Amino acid sequence: MTSLIKRNASGSTGDGDANLLINGVVGVPGGIGEGARGARAEAFDRWLGGLSAWPEGVALVAVGGLGRRQCAPYGDLDLVLLHAGVGGVDELASKIWYPVWDAGVRLDHSVRTLAEALSVARDDVKVALGLLDARFVAGDRELADTLVRTATDHWRRTAVRQLPSLREITTARWQAHGELAFLLEGDLKEAAGGLRDVGILRAIATAGVTDALRPAVRAAHLRLLDTRDALHEQAGRRVDRLVAQERDGVAAQLGLRQPESDAAYGPEVVVRDGDALLRRVAGDARTVSHALDDAWRAADRLRSGRRRGGDVRPVRRPVARDVVEHDGELVLARTAIGARPDPSLSLRMAAAAATTRLPIARATCEWLAAYCPPLPSPWPVEARAALITLLGAGPGLVPAWETCDRYGLIDGWLPEWTRLRSLPQHNPVHRYTLDRHLVQTAYEAGRHTREVDRPDLLLLGAFLHDIGKGLPGEGVAGRAGGAADHSIVGAPLAEAVAARIGLPGTEVALIGTLVRLHLLLPDVATRRDLSDPVTIARVAEQVGDPATLDLLHALVRADAAATGPAAWSDWKGRLVAELVTRVRTALDTGVLPAPPAPDPALVAGPLPVVHLTGDRVAVAAADRRGLLATVAGCLALHRLEVLSADASTVDGRALVECRVQPRYGLPPDPIALGGDLRRAVAGDVSVTQRLRGRALAARGSGAAPRVVWHREAATDAVLLELRAADAAGLLYRVTCALDEAGAQVRAARICTLGGDVVDAFYLVGSWPPDDERARLEAAVLAAV
């Protein structure tokens, strides 16, 4: 079958794992679009039909993409060899399956009688759904048509009973793959709102439960198919996850070009082609997800009606002013529809939906979008209260917000939302697009409202904290290097929103402060020496009062939880809490807290002293230069990342204390680590040689590193900050270079941001002259 094979870019024929182009099969074209997909299906039909003679009572049936005539360029084939109990079926199957495998095409296959196929469909809802796509390819057409007709009829009769099982399976898949509309690298097929969900909508529509495939859904489906086709073509293999490195190429194949200035996103927003693709995918996924939510509710109502016997009318129950529950959904009270609507009506409906966790009826959303008047500026008290209720509603916030967003209600509340919607965040620690991140942060902030004096301002500050992302001065959507700038850009924007919704001037200013300083606590906690009075004094000066400090502390934790698991750790939480405690002491008493005393166990007893407890490594040795570099190198040898390091001298003893974490998840052998540390600090040359060989072999790569000096950032030291790509042994190399250049390091703070680090080194002494700074910079950069 070598004539059927088209090798991939590497020249390999692969192992059947989609390393070969499906369009390498003779007569099967590549390309993007509905026409190309149909042409591939027809070509496969011809090829498969010609692989064997077809006796009576045997039919080849396609399901999946081939059954729907939606073959992706690198998709697989789903085939059923259907027979009526005739002999020689196994030999016939071999004549079909082996040529497909030899052609490098992925194959999902089965051999079944008509009764077996229908029996499996009755027991397995996923098989039942698959047979709804069944289509005759070759052989006995009457046998194939009987399967299609019987399977469809069975589904229509049993769908209402089987849908709960299907919903459980679907929910589990969503939990595993997330929501396509909000993910930066979502799975186009399996994530919520993806192609798999369109198949469920098709099944619900086939059962006659509701009109699930409305024109908007069909259009979104075709665009998602086009995107998947372009992703296959771009990657040269089967891949359904829209990974970052392929986005721009996929956008180019689809002809998506984002102009530098687009009025839909804001007059000064620069968006890349890949970002335009993500926005389109997000919109389509939202369309699919919302349609499926409607379809599930329609199925629930149908089952509920059958349980009631179909004669009892559902009860209407008031749940809030102008809001009524009707058959499991929220609708407007008749009095609200008859009179001129209150401008706050849509917000009050959203707040009711979030607090009751009940969906808003589609007709109600459409009516609100068409007839609810715009909010005045400033907002009335009812609207402001409804917004705070909505933001603090907990688990009901996200679905209620998403429903309102799908019908354009939020654009009427916040004109800025058009720019923020589906905006990608090009930062490896973020898992959501910007709009979802803001809503998720408000949700997470709701967990901390009892810890602060003004829970309403916490919720609003959390919702607005990243409003400056994507604007000039920040870097598009929070790219590395712009993380600090978006808080400055966003503060006046947040103040404008706060003023528009009717907050008084002092509270408007506080919202601006929360947005401007929302990165202060984590940045200082992870990059500065918390025992230095200058550090505490500067934070206290910026924060101003304990109430603001509490708000910032809660906002930091909410922001991290909404960002993703890589944004927070127990170590980071302890550092932030320690900083908050010290700053509160300064604000309450006006006295800066004293630096902590050295560990008594390190300043007594014979040398060297090595203590290993949890994430702490403490070493005491005879005072000499280079001890910090030696300890850092030994820790790198044992694959430990240093998060913070402090070096000091007490009564002729050099003390080094480090906070560490395993680089690859498994902690090292404490006996081996302790032994190497003792030998290394005692000057064992063999250990030093091992350190240098291992660390120097592990140098990282990436963008050009940079050194930044900070004046007056410490009491008795100058601060050198290194921004570079992360790599094993980096701290060892840099501290060795500083030591060899004659600089004494008092403390080091290591902050990892995805694949980059921002490492701060406290160098003991006065501010060095320019030529000395240049020499130290050169030494550090050479080490990196």
Confidence grade of residue 27 (pLDDT, cut at 50, 70, 90): low
Between 208-222, 408-422, 544-558, the lowest mean confidence (pLDDT) is in 208-222
Confidence grade of residue 456 (pLDDT, cut at 50, 70, 90): very high
- pLDDT for the residue numbered 15: 37
Give the largest Cα separation in the chain, rounded: 98
- Who contacts 353 (Cβ-Cβ below 8 Å, separation ≥6)? 330, 359, 360, 396, 399, 400, 403
What average pLDDT does range 400-411 have in this prediction? 94
Q: How far apart are the C-alpha atoms of 556 and 521, rounded to whole Å?
A: 7
Q: Specify the DSSP element, H or E, that contains 330.
A: strand 329-332
- pLDDT for the residue numbered 309: 56
Q: End-to-end distance of the chain based on CA atoms, in angstroms?
A: 52
Instruction: Give the residue among 759, 649, 764, 752 at the shortest CA–CA distance from 714.
Output: 764
- Who contacts 216 (Cβ-Cβ below 8 Å, separation ≥6)? 287, 291
Paired tokens of 357: 């966790």
DSSP state for residue 323 in the 8-state scheme: E
- pLDDT for the residue numbered 699: 45
pLDDT over 60 at 122, yes or no? yes
549 versus 312: the higher-pLDDT residue is 549
Query: Is the CB of residue 619 less than 8 Å from the CB of residue 609?
Result: yes
Query: Is the CB of residue 638 less than 8 Å from the CB of residue 694?
Result: no
Provide the percentage of residues in the chain whose pLDDT is more than 70.
89
Strands (E) located in 270-322: 316-320
Between 114-118, 474-478, 600-604, the lowest mean confidence (pLDDT) is in 474-478
- pLDDT for the residue numbered 310: 53
CA 160 vs CA 128, 291, 451: distances in Å? 13, 17, 47
Q: What are the pLDDT digits (tens) for 566-575? A: 888 888 899 9
Confidence grade of residue 20 (pLDDT, cut at 50, 70, 90): very low
What average pLDDT does range 372-377 have in this prediction? 93
CA 511 vs CA 39, 240, 410, 523, 651: distances in Å? 57, 41, 20, 20, 49
pLDDT over 50 at 32, yes or no? yes
Between 52-66, 390-404, 705-719, the lowest mean confidence (pLDDT) is in 705-719
Q: How far apart are the C-alpha atoms of 60 and 54, rounded to whole Å?
A: 9
For the ranges 369-378, 475-484, 652-661, the one whose mean pLDDT is highest? 369-378
498 versus 185: the higher-pLDDT residue is 498
- pLDDT for the residue numbered 2: 28
pLDDT over 80 at 69, yes or no? yes
Q: How far apart are the C-alpha atoms of 72 and 62, rounded to whole Å?
A: 14
Paired tokens of 588: 């309450």
Alpha carbon 444 to chain centroid distance? Answer: 15
Paired tokens of 351: 């707040």
Q: What are the pLDDT digits (tens) for 320-366? A: 999 999 988 999 998 888 667 889 999 999 999 999 999 999 899 99
Strands (E) located in 651-738: 653-662, 706-710, 717-725
What average pLDDT does range 220-225 have in this prediction? 96
Q: What are the pLDDT digits (tens) for 583-638? A: 999 999 988 888 778 888 888 888 899 999 888 999 999 888 888 888 988 998 89
Provide the percentage of residues in the chain whose pLDDT is more than 90.
55
- pLDDT for the residue numbered 264: 44
Q: What are the pLDDT digits (tens) for 731-776? A: 888 988 998 888 888 888 888 776 778 888 888 876 667 778 888 9
What average pLDDT does range 657-668 have in this prediction? 85
Averaged confidence pLDDT in the chain? 86
Strands (E) located in 502-652: 609-613, 616-622, 640-650
pLDDT over 60 at 25, yes or no? no
Instruction: Give the residue among 570, 562, 581 at the shortest CA–CA distance from 448.
Output: 562
- pLDDT for the residue numbered 265: 44
What average pLDDT does range 662-677 have in this prediction? 88
3-state secondary structure of 138: strand
- pLDDT for the residue numbered 214: 87
Give the gyration radius of the chain's Cα atoms: 32
For the ranges 264-273, 435-444, 714-723, the one whose mean pLDDT is highest? 435-444
Residue 498: other Cβ atoms inside 10 A: 26
Instruction: Give the residue among 368, 181, 369, 393 at the shortest CA–CA distance from 292.
Output: 181
Amino acid in position 721: E
Q: What are the pLDDT digits (tens) for 225-283? A: 999 999 999 998 899 999 988 999 999 999 887 554 444 444 444 446 788 899 999 99
- Who contacts 123 (Cβ-Cβ below 8 Å, separation ≥6)? none
What average pLDDT does range 714-718 have in this prediction? 85
pLDDT over 90 at 119, yes or no? yes
3-state secondary structure of 720: strand
Q: What are the pLDDT digits (tens) for 417-429? A: 999 998 888 777 8
Beta bridge partners of 724: 757
Q: How far apart are the C-alpha atoms of 354 and 453, rounded to whole Å?
A: 24
